[in-house]
Amino acid sequence: MFRIVSSNQFLPISCLLVLTFCSLAIGENINIHDRIESLLSKMTLAEKVGQMIQINGYDGKIPKDLKQRLREGGIGSILNEVNPEINLEMQRIAVEESRLGIPLIIGRDVIHGFRTIFPIPLGQAATWDPELVRACAGIAAEEAASVGIDWTFAPMMDIARDPRWGRIAEGFGEDPYLASVLAAAMVRGLQGEDLSAPNTIAACAKHFAGYGAAEGGRDYNTVYIPEGLLRDVYLPPFRAAVDAGVATVMASFNEINGVPSSGNAFLLRQVLRKEWGFQGFVVSDWGSMSEMMNHGFCSDLKDVAQKSIQAGVDMEMVSTAYADYLEDLVNSGAVPQELVDDAVRNILRVKFQLGLFDKPSPYSLKGIHKPSQKALDLAKRAALESVVLLKNEGNLLPLSRKIRSIAVIGPLADEPYEVLGTWSLDGKAEDTITPLQAVKTFLGESADIKYTGGLPYTRSRDESGFSPAVLAAEESDAVLLFVGEESALSGEGHSRAYLNLPGAQEKLINTLAATGKPIALVVMAGRPLTIGEISRKVQAVLYAWHPGTMTGPALVDLIFGIESPSGKLPVTFPKTAGQIPVYYNHKNTGRPPQEGAFTLIDDIPVHAFQHSLGNTSHYLDIGYLPLYPFGFGLSYTRFKYANIKLSTNNIKIGDNIRVSVDLINVGAMEAEEVAQLYIRDLVASITRPVRELKGFQRIRLKPGEKKTVTFDLPSQDLGFHNTDMEYTVEPGKFHLWVGGDSQSVLMTEFELVE
C-alpha cells in the first residue's frame, strides 16, 4: 500500500509484487535501500525511463492515452492536477493496473500557500521570522496534501540584486544569510519532521543555480558569475536547503558561464552530489532541457537527452527528450545504463521516503473547501509582520480609532484577486478580505467612510475617477491610498524596465496630495518600486508587498495601531532603475564615496574643470546611497541600541565569539524589532564586502523595557572561498555592527587570530 490520501479505506492492491514489498516492509522492516534495489532489478529499461518522465495534467481529466501510459509504467510524475478524485484514480491505475505498481509523485507549484494565500515569499522574507515562514509552509503543505499533492516546487532561493527581474517576488531577497535561514525554514515547514506523514509534501530547492543574476533582470537570461561569487553568495541558500533535508532540487532555466543548468555537470554532479552529498532527485524546470537547443548547447532532442542525463538531471519536466530518445541512447551504448539506474534510484528513494508505497489511506481526499481559522490567523500574522513602514512624517500613523471621516482610495483598495500576488494558483478571491472591507468592519458606523477607486486598475490611465477621489479626500479627515502592481506584473516572465508605479497612479497621488489632506500610502507590489518622488508627496508609506488572503485585517491592525509595523526590507530599494544593481553587501572601491566628498549635478559650476568635482564612485544625479537600505523598517515606537560587548576581542580560528547589546524600547508603544548583526573583514586575500549579515533576532519589547540581546558568532562563519575555491577562514581584523538595518552605526571591532 502507499501514501496516497484516499477515502478512509485501504486501496486494493492487485499487484503481487507490491504486496510482497508491503509484506517485507511490515514483517521484516527491510530498509529503503534494499527495497529500491529489489524493485530496480525487476524493472525494464522502458519502466526505468518512465520514472524519469513528468507530464502536465489534463485539467481534471484522464484521457485514454494517459491511462495506457500509466498501465505501462511510462510516467513517474504528474503535475498541476488538483482534483482529488482524479489524483486518486491516477494513483489507483498506477498501482493496481501497472506491472510493478509504482505510485506517481504528484506535483504542484505551492509557492506561498495553497487555498490560504500567505504573503509572497519576498514579503515573508520581510518578516525576518523563520519560524513564521516554517509555519506558513506547514499549512500550505497540509492543504495541498488534502487534494493528493505530494510535491511542490518551492522554496525558491535565488539571490536577486535586480528588482527588474519579475521573479524577485518568489525569493527571499538579496542576502545569502537571510535567504539560507528562510529556505531551510520553508523546507522544514513543507516536509515536517517525517516526510511520510499525511500532512507533508516534498520540497524542491530552486532554481539551481544563479537564476536571480540574469542580465538586465530579463527572465530566463544569461548569467555570468565568477565561481567565488557563486559559492559565497548564490549557492549558500541551496546548501542550507540540502542540509535541511530537501527532497528534490530543480535545475534552472538559465545558462551559467556558458553552460545551461540542465546540462551542467559541475553544478549537478560536482557541487550538489559530490560536495554536498545530496541524495534526492533533480528535476528540470518546465521545458528547460529542450530549451538547451535554443541556448545553442544542444543540436536536437537526442543531444538534449544525452547531455541532461550525463549532467545529472533525473526527471524531465514536460519536454520529451527522455521519453523519445533515452532508451535508444542506452541501447546504443551512448549513455551508460548506470546513469539511468542512478536517476531512478534517486526518484524511488523520494517516493519511499514520502511513504507512497506504504501508507494506508490515512485521511480523506475531500480537498479543501475553505481556509481553516488556524490558517487565516497565521495568514494575518504573516501579513502583519511582512509590512514595512518606510515613512511616518508627523506620526500620522497610527490613525485614531475615533476618526470621524476617512477616504479609502486606490485601485487596490477593494481588489480581492490582485493582492494575492504571483503564483497563487489555488487561492480564491472569495476568501480575501480587502482593505476596504476590513476598514468598514473595524470602524463600523463610527466613521464616515468614503470609497472610490480613483483608477479602475493599476495600469489604467483613465483619469475620469480623479474628481470623485479628490472630493472624497476633501471631505475626509485623512486619506488611505492603496496603490501598487497587479499580481500579473511580477513573477515568472514578468520583468520590468521601469520600476515606477504603473498607469496614472503617480498622477493620482499628486492630485490627491494637492488637497492638503494627510495621506497614508499603502504600496502593494511584487518587487521594490522607485517611490522616492511620490513618498515626498505623502505623510506615511507602508510597503505591504502582496499580502495574501488576510490583506485587509492585517493592514487595518497596522493603520489603526493595534500592532506596530515590524517588517524589515529583505532587499535594497533603488532611487531609480538606473542605479541597479544596488545592494548592501557590495565591495568597496579604491575611491569610495563619502558624505560631502563628491558633487551632484545641480552643484556643478559652469565650465567646471574635469577633476574638480571629487572623483569618487557615485552618480552625479542621485549620489551613491539607495532610497532605502537593506534591513530598513520603521516602527511606531523607537528602539535604542547601546552597550555593545564582545566575549573577546581576539577570537581564535575554530572558536566562537559572543556579541551582546542592550536593546531598549524608548517609545510609547509595545512593538517588535529585528536586531541585525553585520561584520566586515577589513583585509583578506580576496576583497570582502563592506558589510555582511551574520545574524538577526526578532524581539518584542514593552515601552521602557530593556533586553540584552546576544548573538553567537562562529569563526567558521567569517570565511570565504579563495582563489583555489577552497573555503578559508583567514586571520585579521574585523568590524562588527549591531542595529536595526544595514547602515547601523553602533560598531565595535575584533581580531581573528591563528
Indicate the helix (H) or strand (E) that contains 713.
strand 706-714
For residues 403 and 281, give the distance between their C-alpha atoms in angstroms, rounded to a whole number.
Answer: 57
Tell me the per-residue pLDDT of 35-92, one tens digit each, with 9 for 90 and over.
999 999 999 999 999 999 999 999 999 999 999 999 999 999 999 999 999 999 999 9
Q: How confident is the model at residue 24 (pLDDT cuts 50, 70, 90)?
A: very low
- The per-residue pLDDT for 6 is 34
Q: What is the 3-state secondary structure (H, E, C) of 352-394?
A: HHCCCCCCCCCCCCCCCCCCCHHHHHHHHHHHHHHCEEEEEHH
Q: Are 123 and 546 in contact (CB under 8 A)?
A: yes
Tell me the per-residue pLDDT of 357-416, one tens digit each, with 9 for 90 and over.
986 443 457 778 899 999 999 999 999 999 999 999 999 999 999 999 999 999 999 999
**Pairing of the two strands 105-108 and 77-79:** parallel
Half-sphere exposure of 226 (CA within 13 A, CB side): 9
Tell me the per-residue pLDDT of 196-214, one tens digit each, with 9 for 90 and over.
999 999 999 999 999 999 9
For residues 326 and 319, give the distance between their C-alpha atoms in angstroms, rounded to a whole number.
Answer: 13
Whether residue 561 is predicted with pLDDT greater than 50 in this model: the reply is yes
pLDDT above 70 covers what percent of the chain? 95
More confident residue, 605 or 417: 417
Cα dihedral across residues 237, 242, 248, 251: positive or negative = positive
Whether residue 492 is predicted with pLDDT greater than 70 in this model: the reply is yes
Q: Which one, of 736, 722, 714, lies nearest residue 651 by Cα?
A: 714
Average pLDDT over residues 483-507: 98
- The per-residue pLDDT for 30 is 61
| Continuous H helices in 7-72 | 16-28, 32-42, 45-51, 64-71
Tell me the per-residue pLDDT of 690-748, one tens digit each, with 9 for 90 and over.
999 999 999 999 999 999 999 999 999 999 999 999 999 999 999 999 999 999 999 99
Q: How confident is the model at residue 174 (pLDDT cuts 50, 70, 90)?
A: very high
Tell me the per-residue pLDDT of 204-257, one tens digit each, with 9 for 90 and over.
999 999 999 999 999 999 999 999 999 999 999 999 999 999 999 999 999 999
Classified as helix, coil or strand, 256 is: strand
Whether residue 15 is predicted with pLDDT greater than 50 in this model: the reply is no
pTM to 2 decimals? 0.95
- The per-residue pLDDT for 613 is 74
Q: How confident is the model at residue 511 (pLDDT cuts 50, 70, 90)?
A: very high
- The per-residue pLDDT for 256 is 97
Distances (CA, A) of 70 to 74, 134, 195, 495, 730: 6, 35, 25, 38, 56
Q: How confident is the model at residue 267 (pLDDT cuts 50, 70, 90)?
A: very high
Catalytic residue among 285, 314, 426, 557: 285
Q: What is the DSSP string of 486-497?
A: -GGGSSTT---S
Q: How confident is the model at residue 493 (pLDDT cuts 50, 70, 90)?
A: very high
Average pLDDT over residues 461-481: 98
Q: How confident is the model at residue 603 (pLDDT cuts 50, 70, 90)?
A: confident
- The per-residue pLDDT for 582 is 97
- The per-residue pLDDT for 359 is 60
Domains and CATH numbers, the chain: 376-559 (3.40.50.1700), 639-753 (2.60.40.10)
Q: What is the DSSP string of 205-237?
A: EEEETTGGG-GGG-TT--B---HHHIIIIISHH
Q: What is the 3-state secondary structure (H, E, C) of 526-540?
A: CCCCCCHHHHCCCCE
Q: Which one, of 32, 39, 33, 1, lies nearest residue 19 by Cα?
A: 1
Average pLDDT over residues 147-163: 97
Whether residue 477 is predicted with pLDDT greater than 60 in this model: the reply is yes
- The per-residue pLDDT for 20 is 35
Using only C-alpha atoms, what is the Rg of the chain?
Answer: 27
Tell me the per-residue pLDDT of 591-602, one tens digit each, with 9 for 90 and over.
998 887 788 888
Q: How confident is the model at residue 1 (pLDDT cuts 50, 70, 90)?
A: very low
Average pLDDT over residues 127-152: 97
Indicate the helix (H) or strand (E) that contains 118.
none
Residue 217: all three cell numbers together: 533582470
Average pLDDT, the chain: 94
- The per-residue pLDDT for 351 is 97
Is residue 285 among the annotated active site residues?
yes
Whether residue 143 is predicted with pLDDT greater than 90 in this model: the reply is yes
Whether residue 26 is predicted with pLDDT greater than 70 in this model: the reply is no
Whether residue 21 is predicted with pLDDT greater than 80 in this model: the reply is no
Q: How confident is the model at residue 610 (pLDDT cuts 50, 70, 90)?
A: confident
Q: Are 508 and 453 in contact (CB under 8 A)?
A: no
Whether residue 14 is predicted with pLDDT greater than 50 in this model: the reply is no
